Amino acid sequence: MTTRITVNDQSYETDATPDTPLLWVLRDELGLTGTKFGCGVASCGACTVHVAGEAVRSCQVRLGDLWGDVTTIEGLADTPLAALQSAWMRYQVAQCGYCQSGQIMQAAALLSENPAPDDPEIDAAMGGNLCRCGTYSAIRAAIQDAATDMARGGGAG
């Protein structure tokens, strides 16, 4: 059975079984390896992508259940993603980097819902994203900075 999905505004066809998690469709079937596998049980956030603009754990979304277009870290360019990526550069957030695609996608979903989150709101939104390198201070600073940047009308990088 062939499924048609849209990722980063590009259309793809895949004959992976409908129970295949989106994570593995992206990584293995489509070759989009920017999205990472960390746990497979919704407890680390490394696999976070957007479906119809909402942050989801792609290890938990079956191909057959997909309800909208997918955006991954490779999707770039749009605010707030671009604003976040440039804030991430300014704050030199990444260490090993493995969790960072998920962190950025989660933060992007936060900022599109809440363009000026306070600390408890950032804590609440980012709590599902583990970083074993411990980059949390820099992540928090970068999210706040990206929010400020967007409020000023920046964000295109």
Site residues for ligand FES per CB under 6 A:
37-40, 42-47, 57, 59, 94-100, 131-133, 135
Q: Which two tokens stand for residue 78?
A: 């749009």
Compare residues 12 and 136 and give the one whose CB is closer to ligand FES: 136
Q: Which residues pair with 14 in a beta bridge?
A: 3
Report d(CA 130, CA 44) in Å as an integer.
5
Pairing, β 48-51 against β 10-14: unpaired
> Closest CB to ligand FES among 79 and 100?
100
Per CB under 8 A, 149 contacts another protein: no
Q: Quick check: 69 binds another protein (CB under 8 A)?
A: no
The reply on whether position 57 binds another protein by CB under 8 A is no
Which residue is listed with tokens 């119809």? 52
Which of ligand FES, another protein, none does residue 149 bind to, with CB < 5 to 8 Å depending on kind? none
| CB contact set of 77 (below 8 Å; sequence gap of 6+) | none
Interaction of residue 13 with another protein, rule CB under 8 A: no
Binding segment toward another protein, per CB under 8 A, in 50-58, 116-124, 148-156: 116-124
Identity of the residue numbered 78: D
Select the residue interacting with another protein from 98, 112, 115, 154 (CB under 8 A).
98
The yes or no reply on residue 126 touching another protein (CB under 8 A) is: yes
Residue 66's contacts (CB-CB under 8 Å, 6 or more residues apart) are 3, 5, 22, 51
48, 104 contact by CB (below 8 A): no
Q: Pick the closer one to another protein by CB: 20 or 148.
A: 20
